[in-house]
């Protein structure tokens, strides 16, 4: 779509990669709302900034992801810095102490939707990469992706495209200065119960799909009580969340019931193994189906559309991942980051929430870690904010981190 030879780019004022400019840019991005699928304006503003910062090959791919390269000096393998362009809805503006799109710095915090998830870290990563042009031991790919808040279609398509080939990925989701090495994934499944609809006054002529629900709920609960655990990530968890009954009428016997299951999964889980386990558990509970009734277990699906018009019907599945805490990328990252207060290496731990690292590491097996300022407790709330002093510290650590993981990936 755009090969980076935009004649306007030459007229842009070059930007100095300083923390103050990064913070101002973060504030400006917060002022541009961008829900999942509506990231166009954020993307074009970011592209402009990457060009002004002197990144090479700056472009927006067909999915709407924004990509640029900070060219390194040596032949260390490329590292990729990644944040996402979308934010979650801001909700009722009157509930915010500071207006959600102000991007204001007040009382030592950058405020607003996206300040920590994730426009603040996005600006820091982008500027940190620019500060390493001609200095990093290898190329630093800056790739900020769409639709992360809806399961990561942007990252999925970026990695499938083969347009980037990083040896290591650093995700800018909040770690509060720690080094994060993984998280559980999430899958949404549906159990569809089918019968024959009829008038409630004549039950003999119908087959009530609700008749299967009790046994299916028992089967799901039993499966939920027998989940595997990971020593670092903890146990997987499975729970039934909603029931839709069709037709939805109090004097009609329903022929369709859809039970939704929310499953927080471990990195080893995939669609097929999840589906199999639910089917087995139901089969154990209902060895012989009553005549006229049936059930189906399937992944929940959603049709997603990027702002560039790409459509994909995708399973609601976000992979998990976990790096070995002794992996050279992890140990070198922890050493390079250090601690904001006190001596020693950074704390190494998993995230509690899911990120696009599930795609890069869980699916594509690229060593992936997370590092960013910000307390995850503020994410998706109307008190979202980023501590400026912590952000400045994180910004200063980024070049050390990138250099360390590039060297570790080269060995």
- Of 144 and 157, which CB lies nearer to Zn ion in the complex structure? 144
Quote the tokens at residue 189: 């499944």
> Least distance (Å) from Zn ion to the CB of residue 13?
30
Query: What contacts 268, CB < 8 A, 6 or more positions away?
Result: none
What is the distance between the alpha carbons of residues 384 and 120, in angstroms, rounded to a whole number? 11
The gap from C-alpha 184 to its chain's centroid, in whole angstroms, comes to 12
Nearer to Zn ion, 111 or 407 (CB): 111
Q: Which is nearer to Zn ion, 118 or 140 (CB)?
A: 118
Task: Find the shortest distance in angstroms from Cβ 380 to Zn ion.
Answer: 9
Shortest distance, CB of residue 57 to Zn ion, whole angstroms? 25
Q: Rounded to whole angstroms, how far apart are CA atoms 371 and 108? A: 21
Query: Closest residue to Zn ion, Cβ-based?
Result: 117
Q: In a 3-state reduction of DSSP, which class is residue 14?
A: coil
Residue 126 in tokens: 């982008």
Under the rule (CB under 5 A), what is the footprint of Zn ion? 117-118
Closer to Zn ion by Cβ: residue 329 or 372: 372
Burial of 166 (0-12, 13-18, 19+ CB in 10 A): buried
CB of 342 to Zn ion, least distance (A): 28
DSSP conformation class of 345: P
DSSP 96-156: -SS-TT---EETTEEESTTTTTTHHHHHHHHHHHHHTTTTSSEEEEEEEBS-GGGT-HHHH
Query: How far apart are CB 26 and Zn ion at their closest, in Å?
Result: 14
Contact by Cβ (8 Å): 315, 151: no
Please say which residue, 51 or 117, places its beta carbon nearer to Zn ion: 117
Phi, psi of 299 (to 5 degrees): -75, 140
3-state secondary structure of 102: coil
Give 138 or 394: the residue with its C-beta nearer to Zn ion: 394
Smallest distance from Zn ion to CB 345, Å? 25
3-state secondary structure of 100: coil
Least separation in angstroms between CB 246 and Zn ion: 35
Facing residues of 244 across strands? 258
> Which of 117/269 has CB closer to Zn ion?
117
CA distances 214 to 243, 257, 286, 298, Å, are 12, 12, 10, 19
């Amino acid at each position: 779509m755009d090969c980076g030879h935009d004649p306007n780019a030459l007229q842009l004022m070059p930007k100095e990669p300083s923390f103050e400019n990064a913070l101002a840019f973060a504030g400006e991005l917060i002022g541009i709302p961008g829900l999942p699928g509506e990231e166009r304006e954020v993307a074009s503003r970011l592209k402009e900034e990457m060009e002004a910062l002197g990144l090479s090959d700056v472009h927006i791919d067909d999915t709407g992801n924004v990509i640029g390269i900070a060219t390194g000096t040596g032949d260390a393998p490329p590292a990729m810095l990644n944040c996402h362009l979308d934010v979650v809805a801001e909700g009722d503006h009157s509930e915010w102490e500071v207006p959600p799109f102000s991007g204001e710095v007040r009382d030592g915090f950058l405020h607003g939707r996206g300040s920590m998830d994730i426009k603040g870290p996005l600006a820091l990563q982008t500027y940190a990469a620019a500060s390493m042009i001609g200095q990093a031991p290898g190329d630093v790919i800056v790739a900020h992706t769409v639709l992360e808040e809806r399961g990561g279609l942007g990252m999925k398509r970026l990695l499938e495209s083969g347009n980037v080939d990083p040896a290591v990925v650093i995700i800018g989701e909040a770690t509060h200065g720690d080094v994060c090495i993984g998280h559980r994934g999430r899958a949404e499944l549906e159990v569809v119960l089918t019968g024959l609809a009829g008038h409630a006054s004549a039950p003999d002529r119908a087959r009530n799909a609700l008749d299967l629900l009790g046994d299916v709920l028992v089967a799901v609960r039993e499966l939920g009580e027998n989940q595997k655990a990971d020593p670092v990530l903890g146990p997987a968890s499975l729970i039934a969340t909603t029931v839709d009954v069709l037709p939805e009428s109090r004097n009609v016997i329903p022929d369709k019931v859809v039970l939704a299951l929310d499953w927080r999964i471990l990195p080893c889980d995939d669609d097929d193994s999840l589906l199999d386990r639910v089917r087995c558990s139901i089969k154990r509970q209902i060895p012989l189906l009553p005549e006229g009734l049936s059930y189906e277990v399937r992944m929940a699906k959603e049709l997603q559309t990027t702002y560039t018009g790409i459509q994909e019907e995708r399973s609601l599945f976000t992979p998990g991942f976990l790096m070995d805490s002794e992996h050279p990328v992890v140990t070198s990252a922890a050493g390079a980051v250090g601690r904001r207060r006190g001596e020693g290496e950074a704390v190494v731990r998993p995230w509690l929430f899911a990120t696009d690292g599930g795609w890069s590491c869980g699916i594509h097996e690229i060593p992936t870690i997370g590092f960013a300022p910000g307390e995850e407790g503020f994410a998706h709330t109307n008190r979202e904010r980023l501590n400026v002093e912590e952000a400045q510290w994180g910004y200063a650590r980024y070049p050390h981190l990138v250099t360390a993981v590039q060297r570790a990936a080269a060995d």
